[in-house]
Structure 1
Amino acid sequence: MTDAKTPGKSTTLTRRATFGLAAAAAAVPVVAATSVAPASARPLEDVLSSETLRVGINPTLVPFGVFNDRNQIDGFDYDIAVELARLMNVELEVVQVGSPDRIPFLQADRIDIVLGAITRTVARALVIDYTIPLHTQTVAVLTKEETAVPISGLSDLNNPDVRLVQVRGTIGVPWIEANAPEAQLTLLDNYPDTFRAMQQGRADAMVDVIESVVIPMQDVAGVEWKILDETISNTWVGVGVQKGNHTLRDFLNIALFEMHQNGFVDATWEKWFGVPMQTPVPLNPIF
């Protein structure tokens, strides 16, 4: 295990992936977020007194989360978490989460905050609280140049012959249910599995955040990928905290505002994505 020294502090930022995805699934059943009875969250004073910030990061959501050559969790979200822990003057504990279990982990008080491109939605806002936006994303359709049924626009998806694949718990699932109910839909547990399904010809398209798929799709051999020009929406992504944990959320809002103001978020985005954020987050001190 490798520790990175925290500037100005004698303690360390510790990379601790304390829960594997398989273990997480066993420990916390994948259920609707509204059915989980929340455990008591740790307010800001408890996080500070423990000297540890527990952050949920999804390492299958490249480049938000990724395993580096030392098999440690790295990526955009990790760099953001490191900076938040530094500003709090505490250690960082990284907890590996997947898209289906990230909200249950938060509600069960296994983590203090969750990253992993957790798009702000009305349904999620009923069960968790959000900070101000950390970054933006664009929702669109990832498909292939050749599919059994031609897909050139959003309306082509609502067809019983179209095979869609999605990661459970992601923003594309409710959109498909509302807008393409006739399509065949397969739900899988992570992004690598969805790319394999499309690579192997078991699926034709997926509806997702382009920033979450554009880099990992380039590593999948033998597929001529296509992103539809017709986009679905631009979304806002904040840091998730347990419902009612206002002291921690309020601190994070101030920290994120400073990180936007001094250019840290934009620089970290370009480091991992190679291009500026498509829709910049406006600097707004009111929250």
Structure 2
Amino acid sequence: MLKRLSLCLAIVASFISGATIARAATLDEILRKGKVRIAVVQDLAPWGFLNTNLEPEGFDIDVARLLAKDMGVQLELVPTIAANRIPFLQTDKVDIVIAALGANPDRAKSIWFSSAYALLYSGVFAAKNQAISSYADLAGKTVGVTRGNTEDLLISSLAPAGARIMRFEDNATTISAWMTGQTQVLVNTNTTAAEIAKNNPDKTIESKITIVKSPLYMGVSKGSDDLLRWINIFILTKKLNGDLNKISEKWFREPIPSDLPTL
């Protein structure tokens, strides 16, 4: 009898534990508590990083602060790494993830995604005085790329025969080659280009061609209907009034694309 009772209690406890893990944050709960918990990365500049005073900064940090301000609640930034972004939602450690998070069908089995609020992309970058608007314009130019990465595979199939593709063993060397004039063109991500521009104000680097777009989304727990609706209205409003553009210009020196997908 005692064993049976213990088994029953264990089953009940497991259901309670499961319910806690699966509990979805609601907008009303956040407003009642007066605080929103948002997961952010702190090791991926310029999306999120720690400045010299060990304070969080970055595009996603600014967006999180703006969201909390519009919601009218206190912001609790919860540091995370890429691997923990979804588990933090599933275990009720955070209410929202704003951490350079891309969407795919597999991830969508575990959490819900907002409309896109930003864009990570691979592209062709060069100095402002370089006239490049198509892949054909790469003919006769030296193009630097990191060997074996996504950009290497892409540009190898897209560049014209006259382009001289120079492959380097790591990203730092690829960047250094462009900085020192060894290459005229850099094939990399907008994140890398933004960091170059930030750390080298004397250099003019701009996006010439977008190769592959990877929209970024906010994440919430499955079942957070009202919270997700509010976030989508927030994103739409901030696109329309230019607030997201201001943050993007600050960190990436370019506006938010007008064709970001909505969900």
TM-score normalised by structure 1 residue count: 0.58
What does residue 258 of structure 2 align with?
A: 280
Instruction: Quote the offset at 1:109 in angstroms.
Output: 1.0
Instruction: Quote the offset at 1:283 in angstroms.
Output: 9.3
For the structure 1 residues 237 and 282, does the alpha-carbon distance in structure 2 shift closer, same or farther, using more than 3 Å as the test?
closer
What does residue 7 of structure 2 align with?
A: none
Aligned residues: 202
What does residue 264 of structure 1 align with?
A: 243
CA contact (8 A) 1:133 1:238 kept: yes
What residue identity is the alignment partner of 1:275?
A: E
Instruction: Quote the offset at 1:257 in angstroms.
Output: 1.2
CA contact (8 A) 2:145 2:188 kept: no
- Output the CA distance in 1 between the equivalents of 2:195 and 2:102: 19
Gaps of 5+ in 2: 1-19, 126-142, 158-167, 176-186, 200-207
Q: Secondary structure at the match of 2:22?
A: coil
Q: Deviations over 1:227-284 (max 9, x none)?
A: xx9966212212111122111111111111111111100111001112234x334597
What residue identity is the alignment partner of 1:239?
A: M
The structure that is strand-richer by fraction is 2
Question: How does 1:94-109 map onto structure 2 within 5 Å?
Answer: 94-109=77-92
- Output the CA distance in 2 between the equivalents of 1:122 and 1:56: 21
- Output the CA distance in 2 between the equivalents of 1:111 and 1:146: 37
CA contact (8 A) 1:135 1:280 kept: no
What does residue 183 of structure 1 align with?
A: none
What does residue 37 of structure 2 align with?
A: 54
Instruction: Find out whether 1:251 has 2:234 as its counterpart.
Output: no
- Output the CA distance in 1 between the equivalents of 2:51 and 2:216: 24
Q: In structure 1, which of residues 91, 94, 119 is the aligned counterpart of residue 102 of structure 2?
A: 119
The structure that is helix-richer by fraction is 2
Larger radius of gyration: 2
For the structure 1 residues 89 and 217, does the alpha-carbon distance in structure 2 shift closer, same or farther, using more than 3 Å as the test?
same
Q: Secondary structure at the match of 1:133?
A: strand
CA contact (8 A) 1:136 1:281 kept: no
- Output the CA distance in 1 between the equivalents of 2:248 and 2:145: 32
Instruction: Find out whether 1:86 has 2:69 as its counterpart.
Output: yes
Gaps of 5+ in 1: 1-36, 158-163, 166-193, 200-207, 221-228
TM-score normalised by structure 2 residue count: 0.63
What does residue 46 of structure 2 align with?
A: 63
What's the RMSD between the two structures over aligned residues?
3.9
What does residue 154 of structure 2 align with?
A: 154
Q: Deviations over 1:27-54 (max 9, x none)?
A: xxxxxxxxxx943122111111111100
For the structure 1 residues 198 and 136, does the alpha-carbon distance in structure 2 shift closer, same or farther, using more than 3 Å as the test?
closer
